[in-house]
Amino acid sequence: MVNRMQFYIDGAWVDPVVKKSTPVVNPATEEAMYEVALGSKADLDKAVAAAKRAFETYSQTSREERIALLTKVIEVYKGRMKEIGAAVSDEMGAPLPMAEKLQAGAGLGHLMNTLEVLKKYEFEETMGTAVIVREPVGVVGMITPWNWPLNQIACKVAPALAAGCTMILKPSEFTPTSALIFAEILHEAGVPKGVFNLLNGLGPEVGAAMSEHPDIDMISFTGSTRAGVDVAKRAAPTVKRVSQELGGKSPNVILEGADLTKAVTGGVMHMFNNSGQSCNAPSRMIVPLSRMKEVAAIAKGVADKTKAGDPRAADTNIGPVVNRGQWDKIQALIQKGIDEGATLVAGGPGLPEGVNKGFYVRPTIFADVTNDMTIAREEIFGPVLTILGAKDEADAVKIANDTPFGLAGYVTGDTVESARRVGRQIRAGNVNLQGVPNERSAPFGGYKQSGNGREWGRYGLEEYLEAKAVAGFNAA
């Protein structure tokens, strides 16, 4: 039985200082499933004090001790993946097979990848008479979102554990159960008390207090650009490190000569994955202007075959979006696309046919979009694809980079060489060529208003380390 009315602080489940809770709603049914406790600054102060105490000893553990700990975490995690998948499906609407394989699987992948990085990472190097020592940054506050809950939790917690940091996690109040299971996993694996602490709460209350807390040395935040700006402002007076992975409006450039059927079909399916609720979703498909009608027809064919339905049903391709607020925002943006003159190719406003409840969005395609339209500028965070036409390759690059965001980019060409040429020109932290997926050992993060810092692999570990130069260490 997952304990939703307590917090995990200093190695134990404890009651909130002030009893306050919020309902967790199933987006497929719009019904409240249970209540989850909400924390306050007083709860945060307890968690930070525990993490600060634990840092004194955990920061001094050896590589071998941390390897053993992560190995045990992975072992326990594997035994609870189906439970995690079910919780993610119920709370944010992902189809159950996808939640078990990809949502829960992403957490396992980051744990395993971090373990391999830890085994090989050089924490010391020599520079002349000096030794450069990489030490844990300290107490870390972590704020994670609801769209890929275990992915974001694991790619923060795993490297922080590997680095020797202690931490406080505030997961999204919309998807608390998978995070609470994760806390149980760490407890069972023997993570020392105070090293990992969890409290649920609202961003304007607990999240803001975390950003401002003088005894938190670093904030790792994943969420909207708007919230990320607020976190950075609040963190500035204490000069803490701030690592952020924020919004995106990623271009998917399909060049002249590419296999249109394959590239467009793959791009639409990628956009609709997770109901479009991925920060790196390829939401702006940029194609040769002369091929717009052909591209739109292919995209419509994919949308028409994409079923939005019950996450537990075998024939469901995408589930609902996470909550009423998101649904309302997406509906308003779809209507804005129509009002501004984009061609509605598939989908549109309202619930899918035959659906009368749940936060379901019709898989939607807009063609003939220009880059000044609202649907080409704002992150929609739903299953809505915009298709833009480019006069030539140079125009495609210009359109791709004409955005305040820079998280990801996608390029498909007639050859790898043409994809490479365009990929090098895209201003984004991650660029995928020819349909190849992300490499988990490579860094993940954004340019511009998509954030700063990097996660995953060696780069993710180094976010949680400080470099100390000790001159004279190797003097004769």
Which tokens is 188 given?
Answer: 């069972």
Q: Are residues 188 and 308 located together in one domain of the fold?
A: no
Mean pLDDT of 114-119: 98
Q: Are residues 34 and 69 located together in one domain of the fold?
A: yes
Q: Are residues 140 and 15 located together in one domain of the fold?
A: yes
| 2 falls within a domain | no
Residue of 91, 100, 212, 245 marked catalytic:
245
Q: In terms of residues, how long is the chain?
A: 476
How far apart are alpha carbons 270 and 276 in whole angstroms?
Answer: 8
Q: Are residues 127 and 262 located together in one domain of the fold?
A: no
Q: Are residues 62 and 31 located together in one domain of the fold?
A: yes
> Which letter does DSSP use for residue 456 in this model?
S
How far CA 290 is from CA of 187, 282, 386, 413, in Å, comes to 58, 21, 16, 16
Q: Are residues 196 and 337 located together in one domain of the fold?
A: no
Q: Are residues 157 and 258 located together in one domain of the fold?
A: no
User: What residues contact residue 390 under an 8 Å CB cut-off, 6+ apart?
Assistant: 253, 286, 287, 288, 289, 396, 398, 399
How far apart are alpha carbons 276 and 257 in whole angstroms?
Answer: 27
| 375 falls within a domain | yes
How far apart are alpha carbons 296 and 434 in whole angstroms?
Answer: 20
Residue 475: predicted pLDDT: 78
How much of the chain exceeds pLDDT 70, in percent?
100
Instruction: Tell me the pairing of strands 364-369 and 343-346.
Output: antiparallel
- Examine the residue annotation and report whether 100 is marked as an active-site residue of this protein: no
Contact (Cβ atoms closer than 8 angstroms) between residue 388 and residue 369: yes
> 74 is in which domain, residue-wise?
7-246+450-470
Mean pLDDT of 352-363: 95
Q: Are residues 297 and 210 located together in one domain of the fold?
A: no
- Examine the residue annotation and report whether 279 is marked as an active-site residue of this protein: yes
| 211 falls within a domain | yes
How far CA 387 is from CA of 179, 296, 300, in Å, comes to 36, 8, 11
Q: Residue 271: which of 298, 249, 301 has the closest Cα?
A: 249
Which tokens is 253 given?
Answer: 């450039």
How far apart are alpha carbons 359 and 72 in whole angstroms?
Answer: 38
Q: Residue 371: which of 391, 399, 343 has the closest Cα?
A: 399
Residue 476 has pLDDT above 70, yes or no: no
Residue of 100, 165, 173, 279 marked catalytic:
279
Q: What is the CATH number of the domain that holds 300?
A: 3.40.309.10
| 200 falls within a domain | yes
| 445 falls within a domain | no
Per the prediction, the chain carries an average pLDDT of 97
Contact (Cβ atoms closer than 8 angstroms) between residue 326 and residue 348: no
Q: Are residues 278 and 420 located together in one domain of the fold?
A: yes
Residue 430: predicted pLDDT: 97
Q: Tokens 């649920």 sit at which residue?
A: 200
Residue 180: predicted pLDDT: 98
- Convert the pLDDT of each residue in 224-242 to its tens digit: 999 999 999 999 999 999 9
Residue 25 has pLDDT above 70, yes or no: yes
Chain centroid to CA 10 = 27
Instruction: Tell me the pairing of strands 241-245 and 218-222.
Output: parallel
| 1 falls within a domain | no
Residue 81: predicted pLDDT: 97
Count of structural domains, the chain: 2
Residue 474: predicted pLDDT: 84
Mean pLDDT of 134-159: 98
Q: Are residues 237 and 257 located together in one domain of the fold?
A: no
Q: Are residues 206 and 334 located together in one domain of the fold?
A: no
- Residue at 114: amino acid letter: T
Q: Tokens 């602080």 sit at which residue?
A: 9
| 476 falls within a domain | no
How far apart are alpha carbons 454 and 240 in whole angstroms?
Answer: 16
Q: Residue 378: which of 340, 435, 321 has the closest Cα?
A: 340
Q: What is the CATH number of the domain that holds 198?
A: 3.40.605.10
| 134 falls within a domain | yes
Q: Are residues 229 and 271 located together in one domain of the fold?
A: no
